[in-house]
Structure formats: C-alpha cells, structure tokens
Structure 1
Amino acid sequence: MNHYDLLLLGAGHAHLGVLRRWAMIERPPGRIGLISAGPTAWYSGMLPGLLAGRQHPADCQVELPALCRAAKVELIIQPVESLSAVQQQVQLADGQTLTASWLSLNVGAQVAAPPQQGTAMQLLAVKPFAEFLAGWQQWQAAPQPLAILGGGAAGVELALALAGQVPQLALFCAGHLLDGLSAGVRLRALGHLRQRGVWVREDCPISRIEDDCLLSGDEPVWRGQRLLLASGAQAWPWLAHSGLGGDEQGFVLIAPTLQSYTHPTIFAVGDCASLPGARKSGVYAVRQGPVLAANLNAALRGLPLRRYRPQRQSLALLATGDGGALLDWHGYSAGGQLFGRWKDYLDRGFIQRHRLSG
C-alpha cells in the first residue's frame, strides 16, 4: 500500500524538530513517512569545523533510522524524482509512486552555478553535504589554487576553514561581504580573511565560466581549475515543476500557517519555501519546526492551525576556522575563542537533541 496520511519530504532542520517532538510526545494519528535521499541528516552549522579538522563526520550528522523509530515514522531512503501537487503524488528514483493526504516539504535548495563553457574548471557545490565531502577529499589528494563563489556566511566560513589547505584561495562576492549583517562583523571577517591570506573580491558578480577563467561581465577576474560553489540558493527542478505556486525563483509561496497558498494540503518550510521576513537560514528553519509540528498535528486531527511569525533578529555565529567565532546580534559584533566555544556548545546540543533511539 503506497498511500500515507502524511509524507514528510526531506530531513531538514525543521523536520528533525518535528520528529523529535513526536518521539517525546504523542505523534498525530495515521500513517506517516519520511522520505530522505540518505540515512543521515547533516547539520550544516558544523561543516566548517569538520573541514578545518576540528570535528569528525559522525559528530555532524543525525542517524535517521533511530529518530524515525522513536517517532513511529516510516523511513523511505530514496531521492525524489518528481512531485505532482494536484495529485498529492511523489515519484521516487527507484520507480515507487507514493500518495498522501498531506505533504510537508523541507528539502532545502541546490546551489546556483554560473553558466559554464568548456570543462577545464571543476565545480563543487557545498550541498548536498555528502557529495561535497566526497569531492573535497578527492581534491585534497592533490591541492590546487581554489576560488569560492559566495560572500555570505557559508562562503566566509568555508574560506576561513580551508585557508592554508590550498596553495591560493580567492573569495568572490556579488555584492558586499556578509550583506545583511552588521558593518562590525563584516570588518572583522575581512580582517580574518586577510590575515589568512584569502584574496577577497567584493561587488564582483561572476557572469560565466569560460574554460579555466571566471568572468565578471566580460572581464576575466580569476584563472584556475577548481571552483567551490557557496552562492545563492536555487529551487530543485522537480519542485519548480510540481505545480505548486512559487516565487520568481521557483520557491514555494507559503502562508503564515506554512501552507502552500495554491495547495493548502501541502506545507513547506526552510530554504525551499518563500515567506516574507523568513531568510534562507538554518536559524529560521529551526524556529519553524515547533509551528510546523503543531500544524501537522492539527491538520491530521482537523483542528485550527497556528501562524508562524519570523523573528526580526537572529543570532549569527560564524566559525573562523581556528576554534573561534564571530558574533552578530542586533548590530553588535564581537569575536574570539569564547564565541567559538559557545558555537560548539550550541552545535553539539542540536545534534544531541536529535539523537534518539526507538
């Protein structure tokens, strides 16, 4: 039987929170399944520490079989091939077709890449994490100069984690470094990057790749054979073609109840969703978790739904690759080893909260 009362697509931060709550408190009635491409969920906040050699892979992931058993949720390990919003139908890579009365999407997004001509430059996207780590291990067998595309928190943390592991490192930002964070944390980050020998180019959008050359407009700005993508989020093609109402980038437009505007029996959270005030950040996805858990429970029981209100301010802690971290909060910035220890404490706490056995 391939029909479910509820299918959770993706093991993102919000869905992990939902499963944890159901494992600790009574879960909603009905048949519930979780679809994940793999048996583990990686925690993005710990990836820089892993790359800097300060974490082990096992420290940075949640084992889904144990968490799903504890929550009494069926685990289906298969990539999603397509989704039909009208039919409430999910097609998996192995040919299975599953249907559900309710769907919840927490599938993240893929990393955008510039148009490429020629194959002289290898591209490696920071997500999905398992594929990224496998590719990075291959690269590290023979280190070469490296460019990173993306001046957000991910790009900065990666640059600081990898500085010293490659002969030369360049970081390209389409706008200002850490745009949206305070000027203080931006200056601190620039100082750390310069100190570690990272060449930073701000206001330098990469328009295309030609052979081994990055171009901004028609100007060649870097030559090399390896490019790490940590740039803007892009909707998965299967999501953009699902029939769900989306924004200009293909992300699912959702109401404050976290339901799709066009298909209210489908919820969407995290990076795959579009809601004013909610940034594409793990901090916001984690905060959506409790509201999503309550609303999925209410939907399956026929009860009223809650509204999610994005927080106006969010704490940012950026790992600096040396055990320290930069803090940004309400326009206030700071940095040092103390904040690195605080970040490690918060990251380990997230992993431990979701390591349940059933």
Structure 2
Amino acid sequence: MNDYDLILVGAGHAHLGVLRRWAMLERPPGRIALVSADPQAWYSGMLPGLLAGRFSAQDCAVELQPMCRAAKVDLIIAQVESISAEQRRVTLTEGRGLNANWLSLNVGGQITSLAQQGDAMHCLAVKPFAQFLAGWQQWQQSPKPLAIIGGGAAGVELALALADKVPQLSLFCAGKLLAGHSPGLHLRAIGALRQRRVRLREYSPVSRIEGDQLFSEDELVWRGERVLLATGAQALPWLGQSGLQCDARGFVQVLPTLQSQSHGQIFAVGDCASLPGVRKSGVYSVRQGPVLAHNLMAALREQPFKNYRPQKNSLALLATGDGGALLAWRGLSASGQIYGRWKDYLDQSFIRRHRFSG
C-alpha cells in the first residue's frame, strides 16, 4: 500500500500556485504531501531588492506550513536523496522512503560549480537561497572586492544590487550579456552597470579557479578572494539517476500535459523540466501552475488532462538596485523608477497571494 496518493516534491512557484488553488477552491481526493528542504519558499524575484537593503528576508519568503494546512496537505521538511521513477518512491537523506501513486516535481536546479585548486578563493552560489543569504551576511561583515559569474538576468540584477556593497565588483559572462533578450535591454543593462561602476567582461567564460585567480581558458581575468556564482540552472544529479527520460542536460523531458515522457504518473514543471518553447524562468513556472493543478486533480479523479501552451512573449523586469528597473517587452525596452515600482507591486502581490495565516 502506498503512503500517499500524490507527493509534491519541491516548493517551486508552480507548486505554490497549486497549493493556493487547493486551499481556496477545491482540493483533489486522497492523501497528499509536500516535500520541501526548507520550511519557507523563497521568491527569487525579490532577492536583488533584499540584497540592496530594500526588503527584509521575511518580505521575500512564504511560510509553507499555513498554506499546507489550508490545503490539507502534509508538509515534510526533508532533503530528497533520490527518486525511483519505476516505483514512484522518494528517498529522503534521513533514510526514510515515501511511496505514491502520483508524483509531481518542482525542484528547480542547482548552480554549476567551477573547478578549483586551493582554498584561497571562496565561492558562494545564489542557490539554495537560505544558504546563500547566510553566506552573504557573513561576507558583509568585512566587504571585499567581488566577482560575479553569470551574464543572465540573475547576474545583472545581483551586480546592480551589490555594486555599492563592496569596494569593487566585476561581472563575467560566458557570451553576450543577457543573451536571448532584446538588443535594447542589452544596451540599457550595459549602461546601468557602467553607471554603478561595475566592470563588465562579455565573452569571457570562466573555466577554473587557481588559488586567488580566475581563468578564462588560459587567460588570467581576475584576482580576489570572493566569487558569487549566478550561472544558469544545472539539473540536480538525482533526476538523471531516477530512471526518468531526461534531455542531454539532465532535465526531465515532459509532454504538453506536463507529464514525464517516460513515466506518465510523474509530472515535472519549472526549471527541472524540459519542454520546447519554455525558458528556465520563474515566469513560466508560475504560468504552469493552473494547468498542473487541473491535471493533478484530473489524475486523482481519472479525468482528461489539459495541455500547457507556453506564452510566446514574456515580460522582463530587471531591478537596478536603486528602486528602478529595466523593462523589456516584445522587442521594446525602457528603464526608470516607475518600472521598479511596477516590479515591486508584482513581486509583493505574489507573496501576498500565497501567504496564509495560522
């Protein structure tokens, strides 16, 4: 006999939307659990504002227990060690095993680490968030020059948020800054970084660390003691070992119904999933939430599933560290304080929607 009818693994944006829907509207039948490594779900969109000193840590996180209680879902605070797709079994690092008829994965990814020789340089990854915040608070007790590796939206926002928190800051991109975004946003980001005295180096993939030195291939590009890793998401190792069909990068390949291509009783959404037309972005994970909620309900009621259709365009709002933001939409770009206020409103609305008392 299985422990649960359904286990939600991970408290990503899509699962938060599912829990909110169940708490406010209708919950599927059966016994359901959420497995999360932390008792809070951090909202990544507010991290730059937190680091810039515009928000507190409490402003940026959702407590899971009240939400799970309202949705009548068991909350299990534990780290996942492995999953068996064939048995639909979740093994926790504490040694406990959980079985379910259905699984849903919204576990995100992890930051790619660098090859390192020696311990003269300290590396801090932006995920997991709780661990990153603890490390950053320790660094802030004695600010030193900082290098950020990662030229995506996260790297740009972090550089702009931290530029006045350290004596000197450098940002390294493997290719073009904000690759995949509009030319206008690219130029505005370069201007904002220059204004904040951030040293930008594009087309400079950092390959390794030797002592206190960063190398791009055989070129020494930076020396210092602290590096912040904000590179793109890398698949969690246990996904590739689960028996699920994964793409070349190790992310779970899913159908438009958000079901695994190889194991129909397992769903995967957000950064841990691979579906054509879907970026690794919280915007897409949020939009997957309503379809996932419907399909999980349908799974437990033996009803037809819906297809998720990714939006063709998505709004980009990048915080500039001073309360403003850079905006990009359908090839258009803009910047200013008004867009920062809009971003704050959207971010804080997300937190308010998912907060439950009790």
- 2:130 corresponds in structure 1 to 130
How far does the alpha carbon of each residue in 1:51-93 deviate from its partner, in whole angstroms, 9 at most, with x for none? 0000011110001000001111000000111111111101112
**Identity across matched positions, percent:** 71
Give per-residue Cα distances to partners, 1:190-236, cap 9 Å, x unaligned: 11101111000001111111111111111111111111000011111
Structure 2: unaligned runs, 5 residues or longer? none
Separation in 1 of the partners of 2:2 and 2:274?
29
Q: Deviations over 1:8-45 (max 9, x none)?
A: 00000000000000001111000000000011000000
CA separation in 2, counterparts of 1:2 and 1:354? 29
1:100 aligns with 2:103: no
Measure, in 2, the Cα distance between the counterparts of 1:273 and 1:224. 36
Following TM superposition, the consecutive aligned residue runs of length 4 or more in structure 1 with deviations greater than 6 angstroms are none
Which one-letter code corresponds to 2:131 in the other structure?
A: E
What residue in structure 2 maps to residue 25 of structure 1? Answer: 25
Contact 1:111 1:232 in 2 (8 A): yes
User: Which residue does 1:223 correspond to in 2?
Assistant: 223
Q: Structure 1 residue 118: deviation in Å?
A: 1.6
Corresponding residue number in structure 2 for 1:58: 58
Distance in 1 between the 2:4 and 2:189 partners? 47
Give the whole-Å Cα distance in 1 for the aligned partners of 2:266 and 2:115. Answer: 33
Read off the aligned partner of 1:8 and give its amino acid letter. L
CA distance in 2 between counterparts of 1:2 and 1:116 reads 44
Q: Which moved more, 1:3-12 or 1:211-220?
A: 211-220
Matches of 1:244 and 1:84, distance apart in 2: 8
- Count of aligned pairs between the two proteins: 358
SS at match of 1:349: helix
Contact 2:106 / 2:272 at 8 angstroms: preserved in 1?
A: yes
Structure 1 stretch displaced more, 154-163 or 111-120: 111-120
**C-alpha separation between the residues in 2 aligned to 1:94 and 1:204?**
41
Structure 2 residue 206 is the aligned partner of structure 1 residue 210: no
1:64-213 to structure 2, matched below 5 A, reads 64-213=64-213
What amino acid does structure 2 have at the position aligned with 1:335? S
Measure the CA separation in 1 of the matches of 2:79 and 2:45.
Answer: 23
Is the CA contact 1:2–1:97 (under 8 Å) kept in the aligned structure 2?
no
| Amino acid in structure 2 at the alignment position of 1:346 | L
SS, match of residue 59 in structure 2: helix
Contact 2:159–2:193 (Cα < 8 Å) also in 1? yes
Q: Which residue of 2 aligns with 1:306?
A: 306
Question: What's the counterpart of residue 4 of structure 1?
Answer: 4
Distance 1:62 1:137 in 2: 21
How far apart in 2 are the matches of 1:25 and 1:93?
Answer: 34
**TM-score (structure 2 length as normaliser):** 0.99
Give the residue type in structure 1 aligned to 2:151: G
Q: Distance in 2 between matches of 1:26 and 1:290?
A: 13
Distance 2:10 2:313 in 1: 26
Q: Does 1:295 align with 2:289?
A: no
How far the C-alpha of 1:240 sits from its partner, in A, is 1.8
1:46 counterpart SS class? helix
The Cα shift of 1:357 comes to 3.3
Q: Distance in 1 between matches of 2:111 and 2:238?
A: 15
Contact 1:62 1:351 in 2 (8 A): yes
Q: Which runs of 5+ in 1 are unaligned?
A: none
Q: Which amino acid aligns with 1:71?
A: A
Q: CA deviation at 1:356?
A: 1.8
Q: Distance in 1 between matches of 2:47 and 2:201?
A: 24
Whole-Å Cα distance in 2 between the matches of residues 59 and 322 of structure 1? Answer: 18
SS in 1 for 2:99: strand
Whether the 8 Å CA contact 2:151–2:176 is kept in 1: the answer is: yes
Letter in 1 for 2:207: S
Aligned twin of 1:339? 339
